[in-house]
C-alpha cells in the first residue's frame, strides 16, 4: 500500500469522526437514553473502522496491537451501551474517560511515528492534547459529571480529532498527489 492510500484512510477517518461528532453535538436536547444510543452507534462505528483499518494499514503502523486493542475497547464500550442502556452512568463516564486517555496515547504514538512523513503533524498533536484534557476532565469530574456534559465533551473531542485528521490529509495531498 502506498503513502497515498494511507493518507486517504486518514482523511476518511477524519470525515467519519467529524460526521459522528457533529451528530452527537447537534442532538443535545434529546433524552439521556437517546444520547446513549447515539453515542453507542458512534463508538461502534469508530471501533469497527479502527479495527479494520489497523489490519489494512499494518505496514505503516508500528503499534498495530495498540491500535487493534483500542478499536476493540471502543467497540466494547459501544456494544455495552447499546445492549444495556441503563448501565451505571458512573461506569459509562469512567469508560469514556479512559477511552479518551488511551486515544491520546495512541495519537502521541502516531505523531512520533510519522513526524518525518507528514507536514502539519502539529494539528494531530493538538488533537491528542485535547483528547487527554477531555479524558482528565471526565475522570476527575466523575461524581458530579452529568451525562449531557460527557456527551458534549465526547463530541468536541471527536470533532477535534476528526478535523485534525482532515487537516493532516489535506496538508499532505500535494506530497502524494491525492
DSSP states along 118-151:
-S-THHHHHHHHHHHHHHHHHHHTTTT--HHHHH
pLDDT at res. 89: 64
Distance CA 152, CA 161 (A): 14
Break the chain into its structural domains and give their ranges: 3-173
pLDDT at 142 (0 to 100): 66
Query: What integer is the mean pLDDT of 79-106?
Result: 77
State the chain's mean pLDDT as an integer. Answer: 77
Higher-pLDDT residue of 8 and 176 is 8
| pLDDT tens-place string over residues 126-146 | 888 888 888 888 788 765 666
Q: Is the pLDDT of residue 31 over 50?
A: no
pLDDT digits (tens, 9 = 90+) for 49-58: 889 888 887 7
What is residue 28's three-state secondary structure? coil
Amino acid at each position: 500500500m502506498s503513502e497515498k492510500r494511507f493518507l486517504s484512510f486518514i482523511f476518511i477517518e477524519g470525515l467519519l469522526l467529524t460526521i459522528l461528532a457533529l451528530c452527537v453535538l447537534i442532538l443535545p436536547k434529546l433524552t439521556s437514553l437517546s444520547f446513549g444510543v447515539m453515542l453507542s452507534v458512534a463508538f461502534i462505528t469508530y471501533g469497527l473502522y479502527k479495527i479494520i483499518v489497523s489490519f489494512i494499514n499494518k505496514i505503516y503502523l508500528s503499534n498495530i496491537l495498540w491500535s487493534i486493542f483500542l478499536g476493540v475497547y471502543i467497540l466494547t464500550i459501544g456494544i455495552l451501551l447499546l445492549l444495556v442502556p441503563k448501565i451505571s452512568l458512573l461506569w459509562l463516564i469512567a469508560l469514556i474517560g479512559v477511552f479518551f486517555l488511551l486515544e491520546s496515547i495512541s495519537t502521541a504514538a502516531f505523531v512520533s511515528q510519522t513526524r518525518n512523513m507528514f507536514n502539519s503533524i502539529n494539528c494531530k498533536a493538538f488533537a491528542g492534547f485535547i483528547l487527554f484534557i477531555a479524558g482528565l476532565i471526565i475522570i476527575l469530574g466523575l461524581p458530579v459529571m452529568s451525562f449531557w456534559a460527557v456527551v458534549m465533551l465526547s463530541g468536541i473531542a471527536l470533532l477535534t480529532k476528526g478535523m485534525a485528521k482532515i487537516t493532516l490529509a489535506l496538508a499532505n495531498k500535494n506530497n502524494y498527489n491525492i
